């Protein structure tokens, strides 16, 4: 069994400290601590349930759900991916544009999941849709950058440098591959449609959000 964990862009460093990305990570951690303290009641109140949203209720959860996570592994994995790709995108877009991009990307991703399963009563939560938007922007902006990646092969692990286009491209293909098999599932799991929706949004709008601020 093999796996890849991106650690960061080895080809460039942001010109500015990624304070927005760091702030997003802090918010996610604070919200997760609140989840641990309040339990299922907190999740029920703030996670996005497609059937409720389609019926016109709890629309605020489309926003709040993107700062929630289902487990330690869920939040740790998401924050690692965010930190691997987001600092360069924040730098390219500028802090204000990047924050708007991240939030809108998360909203689009969540709505894509709702549209795919409008009658589902399974709570949806997680930052992965917004992070997928960041990855979509990255593959458009810096496709040739080398990503420092921790590569696992069975019990062995080593650091490799993988082109962003290849690493993110393989990730996106895996989302497409799994999307059809989970579209009908009502018992939970990974929100692949949110990943796909967020990624497409990010790839399609990256240039617009970057404007004249892109770093070559």
Q: Is 58 exposed, middle or buried (0-12, 13-18, 19+ CB in 10 A)?
A: middle
pLDDT by position in tens, the chain (length 216): 458 899 999 999 999 999 999 999 999 999 999 999 998 899 999 999 999 999 999 999 999 999 999 899 999 999 999 999 999 999 999 999 999 999 999 999 999 989 988 888 888 999 999 999 999 999 999 999 999 999 887 778 899 999 999 999 999 998 887 655 444 444 445 577 889 999 999 999 999 999 765 544
Q: Which residues contact 134 (CB under 8 A, 6 or more apart)?
A: 82, 85, 86, 89, 102, 105, 202
Domains and CATH numbers, the chain: 2-210 (1.20.1540.10)
What pLDDT is recorded for position 182? 40
Cα distance between residue 165 and residue 144, in whole Å: 6
Q: CB-hemisphere CA count at 13 Å for 124?
A: 39
Quick one: 3 exposed, middle or buried, by C-beta within 10 A (0-12, 13-18, 19+)?
exposed
Q: Which of 148, 144, 150, 20 is nearest to 87 (CA)?
A: 20
Provide the CA 48 distance to its chain's centre, in angstroms. 16
């Amino acid at each position: 069994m093999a796996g890849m964990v991106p650690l960061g862009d080895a080809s460039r460093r942001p010109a500015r400290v990624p304070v927005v990305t760091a702030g997003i990570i802090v918010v996610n951690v604070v919200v997760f601590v609140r989840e641990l303290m309040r339990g299922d009641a907190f999740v029920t109140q703030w996670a996005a349930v497609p059937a409720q949203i389609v019926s016109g209720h709890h629309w605020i959860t489309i926003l709040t759900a993107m700062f929630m996570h289902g487990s330690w592994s869920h939040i740790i994995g998401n924050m690692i991916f965010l930190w691997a790709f987001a600092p360069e995108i924040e730098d390219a877009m500028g802090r204000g544009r990047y924050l708007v991009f991240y939030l809108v990307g998360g909203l689009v991703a969540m709505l894509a999941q709702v549209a795919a399963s409008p009658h589902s009563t399974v709570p949806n939560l997680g930052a992965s849709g917004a992070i997928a938007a960041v990855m979509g922007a990255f593959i458009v902006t810096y496709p040739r950058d080398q990503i420092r990646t921790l590569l696992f092969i069975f019990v062995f692990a080593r650091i490799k440098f993988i082109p962003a286009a290849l690493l993110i491209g393989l990730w996106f293909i895996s989302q497409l591959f799994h999307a059809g098999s989970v579209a009908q599932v009502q018992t939970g799991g990974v929100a692949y449609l949110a990943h796909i929706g967020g990624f497409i949004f990010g790839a399609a709008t990256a240039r617009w959000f970057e404007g004249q601020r892109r770093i070559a």
